[in-house]
Amino acid sequence: ILNVEQSPQSLHVQEGDSTNFTCSFPSSNFYALHWYRWETAKSPEALFVMTLNGDEKKKGRISATLNTKEGYSYLYIKGSQPEDSATYLCALLGSARQLTFGSGTQLTVLP
Amino acid sequence: NAGVTQTPKFQVLKTGQSMTLQCAQDMNHEYMSWYRQDPGMGLRLIHYSVGAGITDQGEVPNGYNVSRSTTEDFPLRLLSAAPSQTSVYFCASDSDGQGYGYTFGSGTRLTVV
């Protein structure tokens, strides 16, 4: 069973602030790491699929890094906007292509 | 392109009743999964499938059955509903697991009374 932890559990930032949160895992026995964005009353939407060995991805103001050696992935949001408010989920992809999710970081961006 | 379609969106069951949550995708994805979402616990994997005719148990499979007779459909059956199965259920599919991430359905909110 894959183990994945996310921190912090929740976060409030002001509009325009940059922020980041962490996904950590004790073992690198997985195939890929996924980040999802989950808005209230909607379904999770894929942000990034991180392959192993120091991958970095960027989409607009959001970027992610993966360090399998140290056992963490960071998600960064530059210049947060109210529409960035959501829960951000990290998930590890196992050998049968099944996902194991962390409990998420709930981000609130205050105008 | 409908993506992943889940039905029904809402359901209330009495304890002991059985029902099937439907999930269909039109993207020819091999991989399909069912998750339940409970407050403070994130998304937990119930069952998953790597292709037609192949299913396996996830983290919380007890009380649920699945089958995958076609690539498109992956129904989740509750055999005898219990209040502990009150949750929001999500179905998701992916093509190869390392491409663009899973596509999720809109969810089914189930209440067992």
User: How many Å lie between the alpha carbon of A96 and the closest alpha carbon of chain B?
Assistant: 7
Instruction: Mutation target for B interface from A43, A50, A88: give the one with most B CBs within 10 A.
Output: A43
Contact residues on chain A for B41, CB-CB shorter than 8 A:
103
Residue B112's pLDDT band (boundaries 50, 70, 90)? very high
Do the Cβ atoms of B106 and A51 come within 8 Å? no
For B74-108, what is each residue's pLDDT tens digit? 999 999 999 999 999 999 999 875 578 999 999 99
State both tokens at A39.
């808005």
- CA distances for A11 relative to A4, A5, A72, B45, angstroms: 19, 16, 19, 26
Residues 6+ apart with CB under 8 A from B56: A96, A98, B47, B48, B49, B50
Number of H helices, E strands in chain A: 0, 11
- Written as six digits, the tokens of A81 are 């906007």
The confidence score (pLDDT) of residue A42 equals: 92
Judged against a pLDDT cut of 60, whether residue B13 lies above it is answered with: yes
Residues 43-62 of A with CB under 8 A from B: 43-49, 51
Q: What is the DSSP letter of B59?
A: S
B97: left (phi over 0), alpha (psi -120 to 50) or beta: left
Residues of chain A with pLDDT under 50: none
Task: Please name the member of A1, A31, A47 whose beta carbon is closest to the beta carbon of B97.
Answer: A31
Q: B25-56 pLDDT, tens per residue?
A: 999 999 999 999 998 788 999 999 999 999 99
Radius of gyration of chain A (CA): 13
Q: Using one digit for the tens of pLDDT, what is the confidence trace for A3-29?
A: 899 999 999 999 999 999 999 998 778
Q: Are B99 and B14 in contact (CB under 8 A)?
A: no
Residue partners of B13: CB distance under 8 A and separation at least 6: B19, B78, B81, B110, B111, B112, B113
